[in-house]
Amino acid sequence: MAGQTGRPRVGIVSDVVLQRHRLQAATSKFGLAVRFSGDPERLLGYPEFPDASLWLVTLEDEADHPLLFDHLLENTDAPVLFGLDEAPKPGSTEYFRWERRLLGKLEQQLGHLEELDSEATLAELEQETPAPAPSPGMPHWITPAVPGSVAEEVWILGASLGGPAAVKTFLDHLPPNLPVGFIYAQHIDGNFTEVLTRVLGRHAHYQLKRAEEGYRVKNGDVVLMPVEHEWKLNEQGALTETSNAWPGPYGPSIDQVLLNVADHYGQRCHAILFSGMGNDGAIAAPLLKAYGSRIWVQESTSCGNSSMPESVAATGCSGFCGTPEQLARELVKTIEESCLLKSRQKRDSA
């Protein structure tokens, strides 16, 4: 059975309060409605058995609750998952890995859970004709990028549900010719790549382009990571496709994109996590932070779904949080400060 929104419902039974809370938080992150959450005694005394699509049961000692299993078997035909791992401390890498394992078990029973932008949503976004805004001006201290020049600094834009609208707004608020390149990792149906390309390129100074074998990211590029196979960078910084599927439940894996790009660019690789379900990006974020990279997130109220950026923020690695417009302004400010610092260093050395 599903809730009023069409999403599956889960029941959570545990004699450990903290485990119940963490299971509830994790299942809600993937859009599931929690129909019941309580200890075995509460379920046994419930006046009407809750109509859940799946039951999650984790007990310190099953022998302490001999009536529970018969009660479940007598009252529901829904699958029951027993003996789930204890949830680690939230915000830790172990916690996000635990969430991923839980998601895998949930999807084995309930099917695909992450909601993605539909073709209709993208078409609607394409048809929107907002009042034209003045093009943001390039600050004086930023030297415009030479057309076609290879990017020395790359920003990864990671997103899922609600991401296309947020990333489009972000790009629309950037001045042209910034000396950076972008790599865009978007959870989306691979059949919608063409319409996504049209949507993001309609008003922005930055055109979306699909990754190509041997291509080096140029300043002004927004290179879209394909959904089907994992892509890496070789020693020269050129994109290369592997024969492997992206690791993890969804492609492209934002975590893996972060790791693969940072492996070449190091501290010259940064990331912004936009709207989306789940926690993709949260495992790799601390590793990038250790490189000295910047990790930014979209603020919750401007997201179509805030789970992904909130998960990354929970790692403690995020250095800035804002709306897509604020993120664009902060990027320009950051580039300007970097250019000003380089100018001063060059003057001092002379």
**Spatial separation of the C-alpha atoms in residues 180 and 151, rounded to whole Å:** 6
Give the residue from 2, 25, 31 showing the smallest Cα distance to 12. 25
- 8 Å CB contact between 201 and 132: no
Joined together, the tokens standing for residue 134 give: 């003045």
**Spatial separation of the C-alpha atoms in residues 296 and 283, rounded to whole Å:** 15
Cβ-based neighbour number of residue 137 at 10 Å:
8
pLDDT score, position 129 = 61
pLDDT score, position 350 = 61
What amino acid is encoded at 155 in this protein? W
Torsional class of 61: left (φ above 0), alpha (ψ -120 to 50), beta (otherwise):
beta
pLDDT score, position 154 = 98
Q: Would you give the DSSP letter of residue 302?
A: G
Joined together, the tokens standing for residue 128 give: 């929107």
Helices (H), the chain: 17-29, 40-44, 68-75, 93-110, 119-127, 163-172, 193-201, 254-265, 285-291, 307-314, 324-349
Give the residue from 212, 244, 217 showing the smallest Cα distance to 228. 244
Q: Would you give the DSSP letter of residue 93?
A: H
All residue ranges of the chain with pLDDT < 70 are 1-5, 129-135, 350
pLDDT score, position 41 = 95
Give the residue from 276, 185, 196, 192 showing the smallest Cα distance to 225. 185
Q: What is the sign of the dihedral through the CA atoms of 60, 65, 70 and 74? A: negative
pTM confidence score = 0.92
Give the residue from 167, 187, 159 showing the smallest Cα distance to 307. 159
Cα separation values, 230 from 242, 261, 330, Å: 6, 12, 30
What string of DSSP letters covers 210-248?
E--TTPBPBTT-EEEPPSSS-EEE-TTSBEEE-SSPPSS
What amino acid is encoded at 254 in this protein? I
Give the residue from 28, 59, 102 showing the smallest Cα distance to 307. 28
pLDDT score, position 205 = 86
Kindly report, residue by residue over 46-81, the tens digit of the pLDDT. 999 999 999 999 998 888 898 999 999 999 999 999
